[in-house]
Amino acid sequence: MSPREAIEAGLGSIGKVKILKALAEESKMATIYTLHKKTGLKRDDIKGNLDDLVKIGWVREAKYANAVYGLDRENEYVARLVQFFRDVGYIGQP
């Protein structure tokens, strides 16, 4: 996937931006329920957006009793996006 395609897929909807924000603010992995509470998005929308974000490598998924999700903070695009969110005040400093 080209950088352009990854950026377009990762930021292609307000739902994805809200999910990325919520995960950036979490210090641990989050469930779909947690993301629903933090974003106000429908569970089905969260699942679809998470599938896209997992496919491009921006979000990691682990399966325990429930699936949990977290940002791949080692991904260059994710690291830069989180820094951008901090720089513009969309999320707080760590």
pLDDT digits (tens, 9 = 90+) for 31-89: 999 999 999 999 999 999 999 999 999 999 999 888 999 999 999 999 999 999 999 99
As a whole number of angstroms, the distance between CA 67 and CA 86 comes to 27
User: Is the predicted pLDDT of residue 9 greater than 90, yes or no?
Assistant: no
Q: How many domains does the chain have?
A: 1
- pLDDT at position 92, please? 85
The boundaries of the domain holding residue 52 are 3-87
Q: Please, which pLDDT band fits residue 94 given cuts at 50, 70 and 90?
A: low
- Do the domain assignments include residue 93? no
- Do the domain assignments include residue 76? yes
Helical spans, DSSP H, in the chain = 3-10, 14-25, 32-39, 43-55, 76-87
- pLDDT at position 1, please? 77
